[in-house]
Amino acid sequence: MVWFWFKASSVQPEPEPEPSSKTLHKAQVARDTSIERYHNKIRDLQESLVLAEREVNEAYRENGSLRRANSTLELNLNKEHEVNKQLCQEIQASEKRQQELRKCADSVRSLLKRANYELEILKIDKYRKGHRWITAVQSNCLLSQQRDWFQATRDQDKSGYAKLQAQKNRTLWRLTTSLSKLALQNDQLKLRVKELNKAFQTKFEPGIELAVAREKLSGARQKIRVLEAEKLALLAMDKKATDLEFSLRQELGQEKTRASRLEGAWKDAAWLLDGDWRYVDKQSLRGILKPLLK
């Protein structure tokens, strides 16, 4: 046991070769450059993170300002609605007043008719119980005064109603223009909010950009398919047109041959009419007259 322990302890490991100073210096330089590179990357990432946070804060602030502007526009719109409601109530009151005046005018007309009827009755009996009734001139004067008063009140009511109607039309036009402007501004604000949300999402979610690109690519492919289908349809139409042109040319050639034959038959018939056709062979005469009959 002692001998084996002595043999094992007597065996010493070989010393490792010490690295040279150049290799140590190179390793140190490489380590320093890598550390400096990582520090630069970390600094750049921190700067980009700060810029992104600034942009996000600006987007949030802009979104808040847009929402505040939208709320103010809605408040203005509500105020305009209240003003329009008040004007409508005033117009309804004026219309109600006009209806009451019309009823009053109808009652006055009925009273005038009744007074005229009573006047005609009283004209028959001029004197009763020693009292003299009013004359026709006085009654006509009273009637003209009542008529003038009624006409003046009616004209005044008409002018007031016309003024209220004109004011209503002006306010309605102003309200419609302001409503159209507010609707346009609201649409612009909504579009701006959508753009900001989309920009915010695409800023921090690159998958959305990929989806948008894929959607554009699918749309382009769909357009290409439609154009290819239109191209095939145009080629088929071109083929039909060429076939039709060929058939028309064949028919034109046939018609030309028929016309030439007919012209020859006409010439032969004219020659026969000039000469004596009784001495012509019947077979040749039948051959001349057949194209003419056709």
pLDDT attached to residue 278: 55
> Which of 96-130 are b and which e, b meaning 16 or more Cβ less than 10 Å from the residue's Cβ?
eeeeebeeeeeeeeeeeeeeeeeeeeeeeeeeeee
Q: Over the chain (294 residues), what is each successive 10-residue block's mean pLDDT?
A: 42 50 78 80 79 78 79 79 81 81 78 73 56 60 74 78 78 75 75 74 58 72 78 80 81 78 68 56 62 59
pLDDT attached to residue 294: 58
pLDDT attached to residue 138: 67
Domain limits, the chain = 29-204
User: Per DSSP, what are the bridge partners of residue 74?
Assistant: none
CA distance 79 to 73: 10
Q: CA nearest 82: which of 210, 175, 204? A: 175
| pTM given for the model | 0.28
pLDDT attached to residue 191: 80
At residue 197's C-alpha, the angle toward residues 70 and 222, to 5°, is: 120
CA distance 253 to 264: 17
DSSP three-state, residue 132: strand
Q: CA nearest 134: which of 146, 118, 111, 114? A: 118
